[in-house]
Amino acid sequence: MTQPTANCPNCGAKITFRWSGSVQTVCEYCKSVLVRTDLDLQKVGQVADLPPNSSPVQIGTEGIYGRRAFVVIGRIIYEYDQGNWNEWHLVMNDGASGWLSDAQLEYAITFSAPGQTLPGECKLGQEFRWNNQAYTVTTITKAHYCGVEGELPFQYWDKSDLLFVDLMSHTNKFATIDYGEDPPILYLGEAVEFENLKLKNLRSFEGWS
């Protein structure tokens, strides 16, 4: 499969897209935020230095979820009053786009689940049922983005505070509603144990082998 390449309009560096569905990417060299139009790449902004978040995951990390292998190709960092967390953008080996969230080293994998009716707002303890599974709202977080990296399936940067609703179930099933978009987007997935992802190409940390 050939991957589309282009040149960064700001610094001329070669940009390779790992996923055909990527809408936005960040030039690794000059940190320009580039959006893909039909013809070429357009610079829409600049990313400041990433905050000192230290997720072991990085762009290029590979892993396995269920029966599919995936590669990490992008990242959004969100910040809220308790700190920050990462949403790593994954591309599965069948071309699907997914997300690996890493919040204080607790991991979850979700995929966008269109076609469900979502309320205008949620309350803690509220219950929902999607795909024959019951979910309960456990956290409502007001956060703002504080950095992007790599390829994302949509245009995403420089946004103000948005609401994220997390839901848990009596099993490992996990869900998130992103109220930053209109209409809100539902992501369904599950909480995963680090060992089960069989991650490769992780960052290493001083003093830890």
Partner 1 sequence: MSTSGPASAGMPHVKSLNCPGCGASLTVRSFGNAVTIICNSCHSILDAQDPKLKILQTFKAKANEDPPLIPLGSRGTIRGVAYEAIGFQRRTIQVEGISYSWHEYVLFNPIKGFRYLTEYDGHWNDVSILRSLPDLSPGEGSLKYLGETYNHFQTANAATSFVLGEFPWQVRVGETVQVSDYVSPPRVISGEGTRKEATWSMGEYMAGREVWKAFNLGGQPPAAIGVYENQPSPLGANVKGVWTLLGVFLAALLAMAVGFYSVARDEEVFDQTYMFDTTPKGEASFVTDTFQLKGRTSDVELTTSAQVDNNWIYINYALINQDTGHAYDFGREVSYYHGYDSDGSWTEGSRENRVVVPSVPPGNYYLRIEPESDPHRGTITYTVTLKRDVPQASFFGIAILALLLPAGILTWRSLNFEHLRWAESDYGKAPDDGSLLSSVENIAGSFKSSGDKE
Which residues lie near partner 1 (CB under 8 A)?
A: 13-14, 16, 18, 28-29, 50-54, 56, 58-60, 71, 79, 81-84, 104-106, 108, 123-125, 136, 138-139, 149, 168-174, 191, 194, 201-208
Q: How far is the CB of 16 from partner 1 (least distance, A)?
A: 8
Nearer Cβ to partner 1, position 111 or 194? 194
Nearer Cβ to partner 1, position 182 or 195? 195
Q: How far is the CB of 95 from partner 1 (least distance, A)?
A: 15
Cα gap 185→200, rounded to integer Å: 30
Which residues lie below 8 Å from residue 121, measured CB to CB, with a gap of 6+?
A: 163, 179
Nearer Cβ to partner 1, position 38 or 94? 94
Which residues lie below 8 Å from residue 190, measured CB to CB, with a gap of 6+?
A: 108, 109, 110, 171, 172, 173, 174
Q: How far is the CB of 23 from partner 1 (least distance, A)?
A: 20
Q: How far is the CB of 87 from partner 1 (least distance, A)?
A: 16
Q: How far is the CB of 82 from partner 1 (least distance, A)?
A: 6
Cα gap 123→140, rounded to integer Å: 8
Q: How far is the CB of 185 from partner 1 (least distance, A)?
A: 22
Nearer Cβ to partner 1, position 10 or 138? 138
Q: What are phi and psi of 35, to 5 degrees?
A: -110, 140
Nearer Cβ to partner 1, position 103 or 182? 103
- Using alpha carbons, list the distances in angstroms from residue 104 to 86, 91, 138: 9, 23, 17
Consecutive H or E run containing 194:
helix 194-197
Nearer Cβ to partner 1, position 35 or 167? 167
Beta bridge partners of 134: 129
Residue with tokens 């959004």: 76
Exposure letters 48-64 (e unless 16+ CB within 10 A, then b): eeeeeeebebebebbbe
